[in-house]
Amino acid sequence: MTREKVLFEIWTRRAFGYGLALLVFALDRGLKALLLGPVALDRVDAIALLPVFALRYTQNFGVSLGLFTATTQTLRLILIAVTGAIALGVAAWLLVERRRADVIGLALVLGGALGNIYDRVVYGFVIDYADLHIGAWRPFLIFNLADAAITFGVLILLARSLLSGEKPGNTPTENS
């Protein structure tokens, strides 16, 4: 494989990763705009779509599982700074990552993080709406598309890490 072809594949993979992150961000913003605009989810109790799934508006002032709740303006700014730094780290990692599966995982994490950071900056909280439940039991807290993207991205990265046969010092292949 020529050097030009390798460089083209690397830059194509990077562009794909950043494009996927942007798509996740855009879908998150679009869905929230639809739910808060025409659907008016913030003005109804819930909209049942399936016996186990409803749309229910909530304001999340924390992060995953309601941890690190930002109850003051200072805590909110700290949370924005910390999540922003993590997003920058993921963006930098995406810039140097060569493995296709890892690029997808990182892009999902980055796009989801950007969606939630946007909410926190604009509204002061993250808008959540997806309520997966079995009767009154909720295996998850109410979440959003950005949260789901972050979760799937992390699962892809963990699976790649745990299931790869790579040993320290080995060079990964371009197609792994």
- As a whole number of angstroms, the distance between CA 119 and CA 4 comes to 41
Burial of 7 from C-beta contacts in 10 A (0-12 / 13-18 / 19+): exposed
Q: If DSSP codes are grouped into helix, strand and coil, which group holds residue 50? A: strand
Catalytic residue among 28, 102, 119, 147: 147
Nearest Cα to Cα of residue 45 among 57, 31, 35: 57
In one-letter notation, the amino acid at residue 164 is S
Catalytic-residue membership of 147: yes
Catalytic residue among 102, 119, 128, 131: 128
In one-letter notation, the amino acid at residue 73 is Q
Positions marked active-site: 128, 147
